[in-house]
Amino acid sequence: MSAPTRVVVTGATSGLGRELAVQLARRGWRVAVTGRRLPELEETARRVTEAGGEALLLAGSVTDDAEVRAHASRIRAAWGGLDWAILNAGVGESMDAKEFSAELVRWTLDVNVVGAARWLEAVLPDMIESGSGVVAGIASLAAFRGLPRSGPYSASKAALVALLEAARVDLRGTGVDVVTVCPGFVKSEMTARNGPDSMPFLMETADGAAAILRGIDARRRVVHFPWPLSYPTKYLLPAIPDFLYDRLAARFGPRRIKRRSGEAGELLKKKP
Ligand SMILES: NC(=O)c1ccc[n+]([C@@H]2O[C@H](COP(=O)([O-])OP(=O)(O)OC[C@H]3O[C@@H](n4cnc5c(N)ncnc54)[C@H](OP(=O)(O)O)[C@@H]3O)[C@@H](O)[C@H]2O)c1
């Protein structure tokens, strides 16, 4: 019998990350889970074990270089390496450009882009050496145009899409596959803060995670869903003229700033 597949899921203390971890555990896989909130991380690890997987709990932030390196070393020591890495950790706060905060932009990029990059740096050498591996980064449909009141988030996801696309091409022939995932709206702590703004085609967390795993299993280069939202967003929206985009975005985009997490609130207080 072959050894269970080894996977890390970053940002597995809630939402999509926790659900991905549990669904992978049902396959009997070894699932390393990361995140900063220890009680929530312990709960995810408990659910992984309950679902039939083996959990490795790695508490810490994707913004800490040393911590990410230490987590990768712990995985190597425990399991000898990784087969899959799902880079899911992310933050998403609204910002109206009329109240521009460079600090909010810096923080969003540090978590959503550099956080994924830290993990790529930590796991790719072993995958390349072993001649196999899968890296999936959770971007967003918000990557395809600058969404109103979502500048930092859209910018971070656009950067992640480009980073993963370049990596996918660079890694051709190494045996390492790169999958870019662009979900629409999925129920999670992040979207729970969206308030009354409309979230078309909002999906259950379990359905969102299942769609992600189907895409990764199939080694799709770019996984996007749900299709009634993702096809227009990925293929039509980037093609429409800017003047038309401005009108449509103002008409249909989020009208208000969503309720902020405590973390973002603290960052905004730092503004001079
Ligand atoms: N839900 C959607 O509609 C949707 C749509 C498109 C893309 N996405 C993307 O899907 C991913 C998961 O989001 P979600 O919707 O499931 O939201 P969520 O429930 O808020 O989960 C976010 C996860 O990221 C982790 N995280 C945040 N900052 C971190 C840091 N510095 N270090 C380590 N982990 C960190 C959080 O853990 P801790 O706070 O414990 O650290 C949490 O586990 C994100 O990348 C998000 O942008 C979501």
Domain tally for the chain? 1
Which residues span the domain enclosing 166?
6-269
pLDDT in tens, 118-175: 999 999 999 999 999 999 999 999 999 999 999 999 999 999 999 999 999 999 999 9
Residue 98 inside a domain? The answer is: yes
Whether 153 is a known active-site residue: answer yes
pLDDT in tens, 169-201: 999 999 999 999 999 999 999 999 886 667 999
pLDDT in tens, 196-219: 667 999 999 999 999 999 999 999
The verdict on the CB of residue 108 being under 6 Å from ligand 1 is no
pLDDT at 258: 66
pLDDT at 251: 86
The verdict on the CB of residue 186 being under 6 Å from ligand 1 is yes
pLDDT in tens, 28-79: 999 999 999 999 999 999 999 999 999 999 999 999 999 999 999 999 999 9
- How far apart CA 1 and CA 211 sit, in angstroms, is 28
Residue 107 carries which side chain, given as an amino acid letter?
W
Q: Which of 183, 192, 176, 229 shows the shortest CA–CA distance to 210?
A: 183
Residue 272 has pLDDT above 90, yes or no: no
Residue 52 inside a domain? The answer is: yes
Q: Are 8 and 124 spatial neighbours (Cβ–Cβ below 8 Å)? A: no
Q: 1 CA to middle of ligand 1, Å?
A: 35
Contact residues for 15 (Cβ-Cβ < 8 A; gap 6+) = 186, 187, 188, 189, 190, 205
Q: What's the pLDDT band for 256 if we cut at 50, 70, 90?
A: low
Residue 162 inside a domain? The answer is: yes
Residue 229 inside a domain? The answer is: yes
Q: 92 CA to middle of ligand 1, Å?
A: 8
Residue 269 has pLDDT above 80, yes or no: no
Residue 175 inside a domain? The answer is: yes
Residue 205 inside a domain? The answer is: yes
Residue 99 inside a domain? The answer is: yes
Residue 1 inside a domain? The answer is: no
Q: 94 CA to middle of ligand 1, Å?
A: 14
Q: Look up the CATH number of the domain holding residue 109.
A: 3.40.50.720
Burial class of residue 196 in the structure, from the number of CB atoms within 10 Å of its CB (0-12 exposed, 13-18 middle, 19+ buried): exposed
